[in-house]
Structure 1
């Protein structure tokens, strides 16, 4: 599968997010919860869980099967509902595309621990970045990495 070799944003790599399955309209990602991902109660921080929702909710609308090409989006709106407490250190997020237009798409995400406990749900409104409105997306240009700060 071509998507298995596509580079993720540095933030996703930093958090240990892995793409397990990806097809048009659906993605499954996972992450192993590390000590730095925990809140003061020793459970995954809400910001970490919300990031999983954001990544899965965007990727489900950004599938691109073409090598050396990608699609991008911006989050316009994200609603998170926390529904349970993780009992394991492996979390998975399943993002599903619910509707899309030329510039905007909508998605839902569910986050589970490895025992199948529903931890959180999310609903998103996303906008395609210019050049990402079509399945072919845009060419990936190899640029030296540099900080934008």
Structure 2
């Protein structure tokens, strides 16, 4: 199966743009987002801020459950709960979050995610519960 679904990638949200987060992979039940390990996202210790890890994990899990396969058909979801475990320090230049859907139903889904750097070092993991925001819509979100 060809995983290049870049023609389906949605425009980034304002926070993703601000933090330099890019979607680099997306298919049914799975997503990958990345950002540079730059001084703009580091805490006072010179390490990527934990809030950035949480944002990457949340963003990846949110997209993992919302793939439609149609560039004009959009599904939205919101985070009901998320648990983050911080496990290591970044050694590389990129922070890469991957997520997969682990279960769910018509209104909610469950997902898990991890953040690694490009050296493969595991930095953080998360699990989350998400609720779909209505039915998928075409081009313009409903009120």
- TM-score (ref. length: structure 1): 0.87
Q: Which residue of 2 aligns with 1:140?
A: 139
Deviation at 1:67, TM superposition (A): 2.1
Matches within 5 A, 1:98-113: 98-113=102-117
Structure 2: tracts of 5 or more residues without a match? none
CA RMSD across the alignment? 1.3
Structure 1: tracts of 5 or more residues without a match? 132-136, 143-149
* Residue 69 of structure 1 pairs with residue 46 of structure 2: no
Q: Deviations over 1:68-98 (max 9, x none)?
A: 2211111000100001100112010010100
Deviation at 1:130, TM superposition (A): 1.1
Query: Number of aligned pairs?
Result: 136
Q: Which residue of 1 aligns with 2:132?
A: 128
State how far apart, in whole Å, the 2-side matches of 1:119 and 1:94 are: 12
State how far apart, in whole Å, the 1-side matches of 2:109 and 2:22 are: 23
* Residue 91 of structure 1 pairs with residue 95 of structure 2: yes
- TM-score (ref. length: structure 2): 0.90
Q: Which residue of 2 aligns with 1:116?
A: 120
Deviation at 1:62, TM superposition (A): 0.6
